[in-house]
Structure 1
Amino acid sequence: MRKLTIGFLVAMGISASDLGAEPFGIWLTETGRTGAYLHVEVAPCKGNRTLLCGYIHETFKTPHTEIVGRPIFWDLEQVSANQWVNGRVWDAENRKVYWAKVTLHKTELRVEGCLGILCDGQSWKRVR
């Protein structure tokens, strides 16, 4: 049965990495207006392992090292194989909190903050 499943997936052009793609790991944010950027560790939330969180792992080109360890997004619920919604995201530049959604693409993690129907965000690249 396993050979049949793998054969079917190969025939459909689906790789094993597409099936097992997860957002977990360290991600590089886009550079902000001041030139600062972050490495964010994406992992299950510490208080509820069924939800997705992102914690600031390291800061670059900023004196604000006190934010290391702080959640940058939290409590996102998985609604499909590659999308999480209904959480919150903290904008490190303006220090405000918005509704969040995260979408995993092949080579990036799209992290968006929303105010009503208006959303904006960043596309992060995987570090590891």
Structure 2
Amino acid sequence: MTFRFAVLTVFLAVLSGAPAYAQSTDASGTWLTQAGDARVKISKCGGDICGVIVWLREPHDTATGQPATDSKNPNPALARRPMIGLPLFSGMQPTGPSKWSGQIYNADDGSTYASSVTVTGADSLRVEGCVGALCGGETWTRAGR
């Protein structure tokens, strides 16, 4: 009897259109970027979320052998900070049950952009950034549970 109830519950969830990841709307965790070159740990910071680089495929500058730094940052003081531990999100506030909006820092060019982060599945996160009306994004995958 218990098995039939479980099957009926799953069947009703499918019919109602409830997504399989309905319980996984929390962005907290470690995420691998789409290019696979960095892992970002996302955690709650008060009511917002924060994202910090915790791993790099190439953690050292190939020219100097020293740890990679935020060398593209236009602020000379910030350009010396290490990439590991670099905060990427600022003011990332909830705008829905699985979506946050705020700013994202792009270490590839040293600029900050308007951004949104959306949990799109149990193991996928859509990260988008915009300059004016021009927007782009990528999908990050959960790096482990």
Match of 1:96 among 111, 116, 120: 111
TM-score (norm 2): 0.69
Q: Deviations over 1:36-57 (max 9, x none)?
A: 7111001112xxx101111111
Residue in structure 2 matched with residue 4 of structure 1 by the alignment: none
Residue in structure 1 matched with residue 90 of structure 2 by the alignment: 74
Q: Which segments of 5 or more consecutive residues in structure 1 lack a partner in the other structure?
A: 1-6
When you count strand as a share of all residues, which structure comes out higher? 1
User: 2:51 matched to 1:51?
Assistant: no
Distance of aligned partners of 1:97 and 1:56 in 2 relative to their CA distance in 1, 3 Å threshold: same
Q: Which segments of 5 or more consecutive residues in structure 2 lack a partner in the other structure?
A: 1-8, 61-67, 70-81
The AA in structure 1 aligned to 2:120 is H
Shift of the alpha carbon at 1:76?
1.0
* Structure number with bigger Rg: 2
TM-score (norm 1): 0.77
* Greater relative CO (CA pairs within 8 A, separation 6+): 2
Q: What is the percent sequence identity of the aligned residues? A: 30
Question: Would you identify which runs of 4 or more consecutive aligned residues in structure 1 move more than 2 Å?
Answer: 7-17
